[in-house]
Amino acid sequence: MSIDRDQDLLEPGTASTGINLPPPLTETRTVATTVLTEDIGYIRKRARNLHKETGELHQQSHYTEWNARTNQRGQATTQDMLEELADLGFAWRDLAKLVGVSVPAIQKWRRGEGATGENRQKVASLLAACDLVAEHYGIQEITSWFETPMQLGVPVTPIALWASGRPDLVFDFASGHTESEQILTAWDPQWRDRYRSDFEVFRAGDGHLSIRQKER
């Protein structure tokens, strides 16, 4: 899948040598956030090209790529996108949670009933995120990765992060640059206390999973 990252309305254009550029306007700068208006301003665009020629100092945000992939994925029908997610191994109830709708809604879309544009976009963005995570971070079993708790003994999965509106934490976790404990803390500062339990699940004599008090 090719992604056009360099589409830029403000390239100098045809036979532009000798055409005066508009004067640059100064900008209120940020530190903790990146405002993605790099395509405004001729001077900044030229600086960016030179920057790339001298070597990448910053990793380009994958949010730009996520957006591009979402647009591409969004060209398919909701029904087809859902089938593709199911082929990856997602459970329908997890897809419902990830998209923020009920299981019956997902079942309707599977039968070909229409989804709103907003919901279609959400399905496309989930599929695009799966593509991105699998491709950039080498995660082979993407659904299994989404369903597996991030930390032993803590039942929080990337599904929970995504469903609560934190795709940033999902991408962070996938990249491996941030420890899972930090990600859990960013999501829920009380996670250690919340999931501490005096009970544990074990396999009982009849072969079924059961609950018992933990040994002290």
Residue closer to other proteins, measured from CB, 14 or 108: 108
145, 121 in Cβ contact below 8 A?
no
Per rule CB under 8 A, is residue 173 in the interface with other proteins? no
48, 54 in Cβ contact below 8 A?
no
Per rule CB under 8 A, is residue 166 in the interface with other proteins? yes
Collapsed DSSP state (helix, strand, coil) of residue 212:
strand
Q: Which of 26, 152, 215, 216 binds other proteins (CB under 8 A)?
A: 26
Residues 38-57 that bind other proteins (CB under 8 A): 39-40, 47, 50-51, 54, 57
Per rule CB under 8 A, is residue 127 in the interface with other proteins? no
Alpha helices in 74-179 (DSSP H): 78-87, 92-99, 103-110, 117-137, 142-147, 158-163, 167-175
41, 24 in Cβ contact below 8 A?
yes
The footprint of other proteins on this chain (CB under 8 A) covers a number of residues equal to: 83
Write a three-state SS string for 160-199. Answer: HHHHCCCHHHHHHHHHCCCCHHHHHHHHCCCHHHHCCCCE
Per rule CB under 8 A, is residue 81 in the interface with other proteins? no
Residues 93-122 that bind other proteins (CB under 8 A): 93, 102-104, 107, 116-118, 120-122
Q: How far is the CB of 142 from other proteins (least distance, A)?
A: 8
Q: How far is the CB of 167 from other proteins (least distance, A)?
A: 5
Residue closer to other proteins, measured from CB, 14 or 54: 54
Per rule CB under 8 A, is residue 141 in the interface with other proteins? yes
The DSSP call for residue 21 is P
